[in-house]
Structure 1
Amino acid sequence: MDQLSPDNAGHGGYRRLLALPVPRRLALASIPADFADWLDYAAIIALLVFAWGEGPFVLALFALALTLPYIVVGPLLAVVVDRTPLRRILVLSNLGRGLTTLALIFAPNTALVLLIVFARACIDSAFTPARQAAIQASTPPELLGSANGLHQAINQTSKIAGPALGGLLLAFIPAQAVFGINALLSLLGAMICLGMILPPKPKTSQHAGLLAEAAAGISEFRRSRRLLAALIFSAFAYFSFFLYDALIALLAQEFGLDATAFGISIAASGGGGLLGAFWAGKLAGSHPMQTMIAAAAFSGSVTVFIATGALIGIAVPALPFYLVLALMGGATAFMLVPYRTIVQSETPPDRIARVFATGEAVITAVMLSAPFIGSFIASTWGTAMAFLCGGVMLVTLGLVGAMMRIITPSLPPANLPKPPARDKTATR
């Protein structure tokens, strides 16, 4: 049975969630925190490329500095997150991100900028699992889907509006001023988290070495079949997505669309992801695996459809292209929200950060190779072929997942320890 709670929170789940003081404050704190991740994205690139004349190699290093900490540092810092009161982690990580962002103002060269970006991503690799742990600790089980949908919507909005607003600010102020504004956003997030009262963590007796405790995140995936299935499914899905994600501009060009149309298509994809997050939040709480399976099959079918059109030479007009990108963006949210809901429902509270960080590290590591493989396919057999390969993989993943659900329709629920009694003051 895929249902996480006997109470389906699909209808009115967001209203019920935001009526609770702690989840409401956590969502409010996520707004400046997530915008801080993206507001200075355009400013950093503008500084590197237009001010200092850097090229593709430095931009590749910039992308690596943004992602590598989640693979090599995040699982270790998650041990500290599991040992430490969550409010302290949320406050300190926001302050740390603010200080590192402020340091960008004084960075004199490319090497130092990349080092600061790497350090900030390391701090963020602690903030993200801490937020997931806080969602688990403060949210009723039947509202976990709504909580993850809401936070994904906030994150998706910041990805759309953050770089756009940062780029707009660059027309009026220098990049260093954008960094200063972004640092203030992190400070605001820390101040909001400071007033958050979360339930106490369950006491744990073991304090093995850092590596040994980090391995507890891996052991949870061996213990829970549902958790392992969700991780494997997500890793393959994101690999399939990123086979063609970086090639959208080339596909638009093949359809005769210009740079303006490409920009609108990216906005359409972001808008689809935003709407998808809200809808996924309504479904993920009751049927997470079914939601992921259906999303893979649907997204793959749409991708195969547009790839086939490109292969046989059909010129897709702008509006249908925008719609396809919106559907593909929405499908991504239908993967992420149910996965996080499963992690929170299947993991004991004393190791939720480690499990989340381990899963993120696996998914990110698998995902990193996809753009290079997709680029090879596109350069050898054409851009449309990379989309076709990714789409076929998603459809196959959906079919295999559906068949596994038929063969083994009910995965046994995890035997989790009961959460500690909620402190009534936590909701005041």
Structure 2
Amino acid sequence: MKRGIFKPLKLKSFRALFGAQLFSDLGNWLDLIALQVIVAYHWGLDETAIASVIIALGLPWVIIGPFASVFVDRLPKKAVMIVCLIFRIVFVAGLFYAPNLYILLLFVFLKGTVSALYDPARQSAIRMIVPDSLLPEAVTLSQLSVNTMKIAGPALGGGIIAVFGAKSPFLFEAAGFFIAVIFLLLLPSLKSIEESDAIMSEDYAAKRNFWKDFSDGIKHIFHTPLLKISIILSSAAFFIIFLYDGLFVFIAKQIGFNEGNFGLLISAVGAGSVAGSLLLGHWTAWNRKPVHLMSSSALLSGAFIAAVGLGGLGFLEFPPLIWIIGACILGILGAGESVPYGYILQSETPKQMMGRVSAAAMSLQTFSMLIAPAAGALLAKSLGAPLVMIGAGMATTLLGLTMLMVIWKKSRSFKSISEKQLDG
């Protein structure tokens, strides 16, 4: 079914929310290179310091986000997002003036904390303002923003550093968050929707209990088969991706890429993910079987990942252009996993629980992303990077195949919250 990916932008409220997300996503990725340049080049620190920065970025999503999201579900979403953006501006200023690694890590952690609060509020706002009929396009646009800024942010950050200096991206990042605040000020009030959802909530009559609200979000995941299986699939996929992600540069050298053209390989993956998001936004028939698409994409992408590993061992020899095309296809398949997951998360979660459920899912995914690089490095030392890559590819294919078998067997049990069959 072909539909317009930009159709949700006709909604004034979503237009304001999406504008804020563009600048917020840009800010999330703009300082990535700046942090590494400051730590490695200006301060002359080693790989452990870089790893500590990455851990400080991800840790709030694991240990704070799921608990704080209970309050996000109770509070006005527009106000939460604006306050989070203002705090991000303050913490970015802290990064700009940080005199040493320890102060830098503190502000990286604080910035990650407010980001872990902002995202559940944004997810809840999408669920509130977008009708079910436009959810596939809205989720795809949201993922398109994430994928595009993953490419544009670091590239723009590198250019800014070259022209204005190592700490200059922080200033542009703060400006981006300020523009995002302006967009959110244009967002119509969500108060009437939130009050309606509260009245419909089962525990509205009594004062809500923190641990009950927290556990309700977890229970919803476990009691919703379609949502549960998609979170497991995406978390496992994240673990596998980050298992080999840090080894990719070493494999690239072995298949013939030098410092000059290695960036083309990474850019091809990013360009493929953007192209895949656009494709899924125009043809939305996948929303009837989203887990089938996620699983099939994992099955196929595993073959490409294993092929790169075989190239590192010398069993496959292709010119750089073929590898670049393969990387682009890998990016397209990556979108085939991330976009349907975002749709399932939105469509299978009640509005009043969106913050808790999305934060719990993100916590599991981020935990996978944090532990995977260390596991990958240990395996690479004992087995070699190409074998880790081959193993990751085989695991990805096996994961996709297993999930396809599971959903084919249990497809009749996958009911959405509206009791409408979405997947099978």
**Normalised TM-score (structure 2):** 0.91
Contact 1:130–1:353, Cα closer than 8 Å, also in 2: yes
Contact 1:17–1:23, Cα closer than 8 Å, also in 2: yes
Compared CA separation, residues 257 and 105, structure 1 to 2 (3 A) = closer
2:163 equivalent among 141, 164, 172? 172
Correspondence list, 1:336-347, <5 A: 336-347=338-349
Which residue number in structure 1 is paired with residue 193 of structure 2? 200
Matched, 1:12 2:3: yes
Residues 9-52 of structure 1: CA deviation (Å, up to 9, x unaligned): x5223232122212222111111111111112222222222222
Bigger Cα displacement from structure 2, 399-408 vs 246-255: 399-408
Q: Distance in 2 between matches of 1:95 and 1:153?
A: 24
Which residue number in structure 2 is paired with residue 269 of structure 1? 269
Q: Distance in 2 between matches of 1:184 and 1:55?
A: 30
Correspondence list, 1:9-408, <5 A: 10-197=1-188, 198=190, 200-201=193-194, 202-203=197-198, 204=201, 205=204, 207-281=207-281, 282-283=283-284, 284-408=286-410
Q: Distance in 2 between matches of 1:396 and 1:68?
A: 29
Compared CA separation, residues 381 and 106, structure 1 to 2 (3 A) = closer
Contact 1:149–1:278, Cα closer than 8 Å, also in 2: yes
Bigger Cα displacement from structure 2, 394-403 vs 184-193: 394-403
Q: Distance in 2 between matches of 1:400 and 1:370?
A: 21
Aligned-pair distance for 1:300? 0.9
Q: Distance in 2 between matches of 1:58 and 1:375?
A: 16
Amino acid paired to 2:45: E
Bigger Cα displacement from structure 2, 70-79 vs 19-28: 19-28
Q: Distance in 2 between matches of 1:401 and 1:376?
A: 28
Residues 323-346 of structure 1: CA deviation (Å, up to 9, x unaligned): 222222222222121112111111
Q: Distance in 1 between matches of 2:368 and 2:159?
A: 34
Structure 1 gaps of 5+ residues are: 1-9, 418-428
Compared CA separation, residues 39 and 312, structure 1 to 2 (3 A) = closer
Contact 2:84–2:117, Cα closer than 8 Å, also in 1: yes
Q: Distance in 2 between matches of 1:210 and 1:86?
A: 18
Aligned positions, number: 408
Residues 75-113 of structure 1: CA deviation (Å, up to 9, x unaligned): 112112100111111211111111111222222221111
Bigger Cα displacement from structure 2, 276-285 vs 389-398: 276-285
Aligned-pair distance for 1:412? 3.8
Bigger Cα displacement from structure 2, 229-238 vs 302-311: 302-311
Q: Distance in 1 between matches of 2:122 and 2:418?
A: 20
Contact 2:307–2:316, Cα closer than 8 Å, also in 1: no
Compared CA separation, residues 52 and 391, structure 1 to 2 (3 A) = same
Bigger Cα displacement from structure 2, 85-94 vs 398-407: 398-407
Q: Distance in 2 between matches of 1:144 and 1:298?
A: 26
Contact 1:347–1:416, Cα closer than 8 Å, also in 2: no
Contact 1:257–1:318, Cα closer than 8 Å, also in 2: yes
Q: Distance in 1 between matches of 2:154 and 2:2?
A: 33
SS in 1 for 2:164: coil
Aligned-pair distance for 1:305? 2.8
Amino acid paired to 1:250: F
Aligned-pair distance for 1:312? 4.7
Aligned-pair distance for 1:207? 4.5
Q: Distance in 2 between matches of 1:87 and 1:80?
A: 13
Q: Distance in 2 between matches of 1:188 and 1:31?
A: 10
Amino acid paired to 1:168: G
Which residue number in structure 1 is paired with residue 422 of structure 2? none
SS in 2 for 1:88: helix
Which residue number in structure 2 is paired with residue 7 of structure 1? none
Contact 2:305–2:390, Cα closer than 8 Å, also in 1: yes
Compared CA separation, residues 60 and 340, structure 1 to 2 (3 A) = same
Q: Distance in 1 between matches of 2:254 and 2:408?
A: 40
Aligned-pair distance for 1:133? 1.0
Aligned-pair distance for 1:251? 0.9
**Normalised TM-score (structure 1):** 0.90
- Aligned identity (percent) is 29
Q: Distance in 2 between matches of 1:289 and 1:329?
A: 18
Contact 1:82–1:353, Cα closer than 8 Å, also in 2: yes
Q: Distance in 1 between matches of 2:403 and 2:230?
A: 10
Contact 1:207–1:213, Cα closer than 8 Å, also in 2: no
Contact 1:98–1:187, Cα closer than 8 Å, also in 2: yes
SS in 2 for 1:313: coil
